[in-house]
Structure 1
């Protein structure tokens, strides 16, 4: 189902913190359009997960956060969750449900346009998403019996079946082998286009981020260090400033070739 293609996600002067410590301070972004895949990259403690959690409504935030005409900050969490789905990096391990039951449960909790779905329709939709993610053989396996990578795939299926307007993914491929990393990225990219869904994800692999993203946002110390198309955001000067490394970036047909040659002393990188 295609979503409203006019509902940009907008962040302006966003500030987020824990207790008395501010992690993100006055962050603003150009609007994120429906159908876009945007990757957040940056070193540890840059504020990437904090930003996702704030957009998901799980952390209080100052500033403006809107989806189309909707003020996300003013919504109660239940209404917020109907529009924005968040897949965290750390997933629960002890859940007494099968993969299929978990996906059906996520679908039951989602708003559906039109009359309620029958049990047969719920099952058909859930199995369709499970097939697209590539975990049909695991459908009747207990979530508590899955490996870390399999749990990531099952959690992704639960997120996708909800058909959110905004999908937030925190390191969705960190526990996957190369085949499934590429499978997940291709699927997320395709579904963003099909549904007009905004996908905002945290990735650590710069080459994968460059290949599958329409836009890269580089965070450093809670602020935007670079923002733009992959070739504009991932450059040798940005790598030096943000990661303290000497790198070479070359454009290729499939994305960017990123070669890290050495590390920089902190005092050199900061000068």
Structure 2
């Protein structure tokens, strides 16, 4: 008798915004069953629409083998996560208290072998781990936008993260067809710290009249072979997101991460980048 195939792994994604939907789409495309948790039925419906649209577009582009998989469901409560969930990725906005609350709630629902992760781009993974009964099964899994086509996941280890958790996170990353980089927990990790330093200096150059945004970005694209200039990337990430990370790192690391006046002014005017149609560039 042929042994029954192992059931596909179950992944919970808390938060169905742009990043959460991208994470859910990536795991579904890789063969996992995915449960996306949003705060209410309306938000859950919007989340599943994002994931479904992303999978359909991937199939149309030929980057998805076969038709879009029907492996994603939504829930309006963490309590609805299946007990046999293998991985939970929290992907809400950068609010440490909210992230800690959601991670602790997930720990109460899933089995003891489930890996818990946060998609934070700058918050302390060590502090988030401290709210858990079993901090060893937790780490940061920092995905990049847009998640389905990005090649990297930054794995951030807290002091208590076990080797088994580290190894499991690497396996999950490779299953998505992405490369891992493993760093220890420190303000801004490696990617956000370096990326923000470049982005803030580019904003200061525009503020000081050194060059316009297009010139700054072209210099980095053609001179240093960056796929996207730092100001266009700031528009894609969101000026409000960049400001929040800058304020956090300014507190932790000092004046070199002080947010430029121009960044604060644009955020105050609602010029947040691609998501609002205006940032350093005008977007359709």
TM-score (norm 1): 0.32
Structure having the higher strand fraction is 1
TM-score (norm 2): 0.30
Structure having the higher helix fraction is 2
